[in-house]
Amino acid sequence: MTNGAVGSLQKTGRKSKIIGPGRCWRTFPALTTMTARSVNMAKANRICSVEGCGKPFYGRGLCQSHLRCLRLYGDPLANRNARRGDTWRFIEDVAKRYDGDDCLIWPFGGGASLAYPQVMKDRKTYSVTRMLCEARNGPPTTSGLVAAHSCGKAHLGCVNPRHLRWATDEENSRDRNIHGTAPIGARSGTAKLTEEQVRYIKTRSSGASNRDLGRQFGVSKTAIQYIRTGRNWGWLS
């Protein structure tokens, strides 16, 4: 017990039994509550390692639901109907042997994680598309290459090895623009304008100021300036 704590007890004339690390029964509950609160806050500030999840960390780098799937099925992205090891069996027995031209859709997981299927083994996470791309095309020749889809169905969970190839980020972005799956323009989650509104700003608003157009469309005058100069929405003609 610290000198301050002893002094406070001497002033009150009472004796308190120490029940915790240097604390009596009066102050120990507050200490444990603060410690538990700090631990919970620390956990809440960490995010699940599964791409696209965004839920708070719970254990082993995963949120509570993905950790449960990992413990039950051996895969944090397995659905509730999957059995332990089904994901790896699908990779080895189905995906690697698939020789069709149609897309082969990943049958496990869902939502945002469907576009980036992952499996876990020995506490390590592996990208399914990268494994299948390497199985068909060999390892990447240089670092920084990604497994790009020629079908444009990555967001739907295609894992057909014949649709995969190694590409740079720039090549992959160009493919997504061609396929119409890139999160640009109105497809972006932060977009405030439609393509029709942007075309109007570019072509039919020469007499209006940036400030007036910003008020009209509910955006800043800087956003209007960037559209007119091509810094934003430059791809839209």
pLDDT tens per residue, range 60-114: 777 887 777 766 555 676 665 556 578 888 999 999 999 999 999 988 765 445 5
Residue boundaries of the structural domains of the chain: 10-44, 64-182, 186-229
| Residue-by-residue DSSP string for 111-138 | GGGGGS-EEEETTEEEEHHHHHHHHHH-
| Each residue's pLDDT tens digit, 146-165 | 999 999 888 888 999 999 99
- Torsion sign across C-alpha atoms 63, 69, 74, 78: negative
**Bridge partners, 121 (sequence order):** 124
* Residue 226 near residue 232 (C-beta atoms within 8 A): yes
On the 0-12 / 13-18 / 19+ scale of CB atoms within 10 A, 106 is: buried
Rounded CA-CA distance 125/113 in Å is: 13
Please state, for a pLDDT cut of 70, what percent of the chain lies above it: 69
| Entry pTM | 0.51
Give me the pLDDT at residue 31, please.
43
d(CA 129, CA 173): 17
- Could you tell me which CATH number the domain at 64-182 has? 3.90.75
- The two tokens of residue 186 are 């109105």
